[in-house]
């Protein structure tokens, strides 16, 4: 991880919140156009030992929200207003990696497609997140 990415990831820790930290989400790349992160399957499973679908949604919303916040810029915030996800296959071990790609970046809305894959590069989940962009509270 480069020093620049490390500083960005540290600052994103404040933006991404306690849930993302407790789930073990790590940021690998971050720019307004594309955010990449990964999350361990262990500790984020449902009773059958499979990656919990809600955990995939948390990863997707975290990555898309970070991209939206970077797109919005200083003095603005991003608030998720819609997420949808299709769960294609299960994951039982290792890490899943999410890639959030901006598909719309406007003044008031930003939308990201998020693809989550397992360590064998098989698609686990496809999600889409739209965030509303607002001025930060004074």
Question: What pLDDT digit, counting tens, does each position of 26-77 carry?
Answer: 999 999 999 999 999 999 999 999 999 999 999 999 999 999 999 999 999 9
pTM of the model: 0.90
Structural domain spans, the chain: 3-135
CATH architecture of 3-135: Roll (3.10)
pLDDT band at 17 (very low <50, low <70, confident <90, very high): confident
pLDDT at 5: 45
pLDDT at 138: 86
Which residue numbers are catalytic? 61
CB-based burial of residue 15 (10 Å sphere; 0-12 exposed, 13-18 middle, 19+ buried)?
middle
Quote the percentage of the chain above a pLDDT of 90: 86
Q: What separation in angstroms does the CA of 108 have from each of 69, 70, 113?
A: 11, 13, 17
């Amino acid at each position: 991880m480069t020093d620049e990415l490390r500083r960005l990831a540290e600052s994103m820790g404040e933006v991404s919140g306690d849930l993302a930290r407790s789930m073990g989400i790590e940021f690998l790349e971050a720019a307004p156009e594309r955010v990449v992160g990964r999350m361990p399957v262990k500790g984020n499973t449902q009773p059958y030992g499979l990656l919990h679908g809600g955990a995939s949604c948390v990863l997707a919303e975290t990555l898309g929200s970070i991209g939206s916040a970077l797109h919005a810029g200083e003095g603005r915030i991003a608030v998720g207003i819609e997420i949808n996800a299709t769960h294609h296959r299960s994951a039982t071990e290792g890490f899943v990696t999410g890639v959030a790609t901006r598909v719309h970046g406007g003044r008031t809305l930003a939308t990201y497609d998020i693809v989550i894959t397992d360590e064998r590069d098989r698609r686990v989940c496809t999600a889409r997140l739209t965030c509303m962009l607002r001025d930060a509270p004074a």
